[in-house]
Amino acid sequence: MVTLKDIAKKCGVSVASVSKAINHMPGVGTQTAKKIRETAKSMGYLPNAAAQALKTNRTFIIGVLLEDDDSHGLLHQFFVSVLESFKIKMEEQGYDLMLMNRTVGKRTISYLEHCRYSNMDGVFVACIDFSDKELLELADAGIPMVTIDHTYPGHPSVYSDNVDGISKAVRYAHKLGHTRIGFISGALAGVTNKRFEGYQSTLKELGIPYRDEYYKVSRYRDVSLTKKLTADLLKLPQPPTCILMPDDYAGLGGLSAIREAGLRVPEDISVIGFDGLEFMAHISPRLTTINQDTQQIGEAAAELLLKQIDNKGKEALPAKSIKVPVTLIEGETVVLPKKG
Amino acid sequence: MVTLKDIAKKCGVSVASVSKAINHMPGVGTQTAKKIRETAKSMGYLPNAAAQALKTNRTFIIGVLLEDDDSHGLLHQFFVSVLESFKIKMEEQGYDLMLMNRTVGKRTISYLEHCRYSNMDGVFVACIDFSDKELLELADAGIPMVTIDHTYPGHPSVYSDNVDGISKAVRYAHKLGHTRIGFISGALAGVTNKRFEGYQSTLKELGIPYRDEYYKVSRYRDVSLTKKLTADLLKLPQPPTCILMPDDYAGLGGLSAIREAGLRVPEDISVIGFDGLEFMAHISPRLTTINQDTQQIGEAAAELLLKQIDNKGKEALPAKSIKVPVTLIEGETVVLPKKG
DNA sequence: TTGTAAGCGTTATCAA
DNA sequence: TTGATAACGCTTACAA
Return d(Cα A39, Cα B57) in angstroms, integer: 25
Report helix angle B162-175 to B190-205, nearest 10.
40
Spacing of C-alpha B10 from chain mean position? 48
Q: Is CATH 3.40.50.2300 the classification given to domain A162-292?
A: yes
Q: Write phi, then psi, for A4 (nearest 5 degrees).
A: -55, -40
Is B244 in contact with B181 (CB distance < 8 Å)? yes
The SS3 call for residue B272 is: strand
Amino acid (1-letter code) at residue A205: E
The SS3 call for residue A292 is: strand
How is residue B292 annotated by DSSP? P
B3 sits within 7 Å of strand D by its CB: yes
Find and give the residue nearest to C8, measured CA to C1': B55
Distance from CA(B47) to C1'(C3), angstroms, rounded: 21
Cβ-based neighbour number of residue A250 at 10 Å: 28
Distance from CA(B124) to C1'(D11), angstroms, rounded: 28
B3 CA: nearest nucleotide by C1': D9
Question: Model confidence at B67, in pLDDT bands (50, 70, 90)?
Answer: confident
Asked if pLDDT for residue B106 goes beyond 80, the answer is no
Q: Per residue in B269-283, pLDDT tens?
A: 999 999 999 999 999
Among residues A262, A270, A263, the alpha carbon closest in space to that of A287 is found at A270
Using the beta-carbon criterion (under 8 Å), do A103 and B92 form an inter-chain contact?
yes
To 10 degrees, the CA torsion angle through A131, A132, A133, A135?
Answer: -100
Residue range(s) occupied by CATH 3.40.50.2300 in chain A: 61-159+294-324, 162-292
Element (H, E) at B64: strand B61-65
A5 CA: nearest nucleotide by C1': C9
Among residues A45, A58, A57, the alpha carbon closest in space to that of A15 is found at A45
How is residue A121 annotated by DSSP? S
Return d(Cα B260, Cα B256) in angstroms, integer: 6
Question: Which of A4, A23, A74, A113 would you mutate first to test chain B, the one with the most B CBs within 10 A?
Answer: A74
Name A201's Cβ contacts closer than 8 Å, sequence gap at least 6. A163, A167
Question: Model confidence at B108, in pLDDT bands (50, 70, 90)?
Answer: confident
What is the pLDDT of chain B when averaged over all its residues?
A: 94
To 10 degrees, the CA torsion angle through B82, B250, A256, A286?
Answer: 130
Distance from CA(A1) to C1'(C4), angstroms, rounded: 29
Question: What's the average model confidence in pLDDT over B296-312?
Answer: 95
Residue of chain B with shortest Cα separation from A253: B282
Q: What is the pLDDT of residue A129?
A: 83
Find and give the residue nearest to D6, measured CA to C1': A55
Amino acid (1-letter code) at residue A222: D
A29 CA: nearest nucleotide by C1': D1
Using the beta-carbon criterion (under 8 Å), do B98 and A99 form an inter-chain contact?
yes
Spacing of C-alpha A148 from chain mean position? 5
Positions of chain C reached by protein Cβ under 7 A: 1-5, 7-14
Question: Model confidence at B69, in pLDDT bands (50, 70, 90)?
Answer: low
- Rg of chain A over all Cα atoms, to the nearest angstrom: 26
Among residues A144, A126, A152, A156, the alpha carbon closest in space to that of A62 is found at A144
Return d(Cα A146, Cα A158) in angstroms, integer: 8
Is the Cα torsion angle A239, A240, A244, A249 positive or negative in sign? positive
- Rg of chain B over all Cα atoms, to the nearest angstrom: 26
Is A25 in contact with A31 (CB distance < 8 Å)? no
Among residues B327, B297, B315, B309, the alpha carbon closest in space to that of B147 is found at B297
**Residues (8-27, chain B) with CB within 7 Å of strand D atoms:** 15-16, 19-20, 22-23, 25, 27
Element (H, E) at A77: helix A77-92
Name B102's Cβ contacts closer than 8 Å, sequence gap at least 6. B108, B109, B110, B111, B114, B134
The SS3 call for residue A270 is: strand
Amino acid (1-letter code) at residue A153: P
Among the partner-chain residues B106, B113, B255, the one whose CB lies closest to the CB of A46 is B113
Q: Kindly state the percentage of chain B with pLDDT values over 70.
A: 97
Which residues of chain A are modeled with pLDDT < 50? none
Q: Per residue in B207-262, pLDDT tens?
A: 999 999 999 999 999 999 999 999 999 999 999 999 999 999 999 999 999 999 99
Is B57 in contact with B123 (CB distance < 8 Å)? no
pTM tops 0.85, yes or no: yes
Burial class (CB in 10 A: 0-12, 13-18, 19+), B339: exposed
Distance from CA of A165 to the nearest CA of B (A): 24
Question: What's the average model confidence in pLDDT over B75-88?
Answer: 94
Q: What is the pLDDT of residue B68?
A: 73
Using the beta-carbon criterion (under 8 Å), do B75 and A84 form an inter-chain contact?
yes
Fold of A61-159+294-324: Rossmann fold (3.40.50)
Name B9's Cβ contacts closer than 8 Å, sequence gap at least 6. none
Return d(Cα A268, Cα A241) in angstroms, integer: 8
Q: Kindly state the percentage of chain B with pLDDT values over 90.
A: 88
Strand residue runs (E) in chain B: 61-65, 96-99, 122-125, 145-148, 157-160, 181-185, 215-217, 242-244, 270-275, 288-291, 321-324, 327-329
Distance from CA(A41) to C1'(D5), angstroms, rounded: 27
First to last CA, chain B: 77
Strand B215-217, strand A215-217: pairing? unpaired
Please tell me the number of Cα atoms within 13 Å of A13 on its side-chain side.
Answer: 21
B23 CA: nearest nucleotide by C1': D11
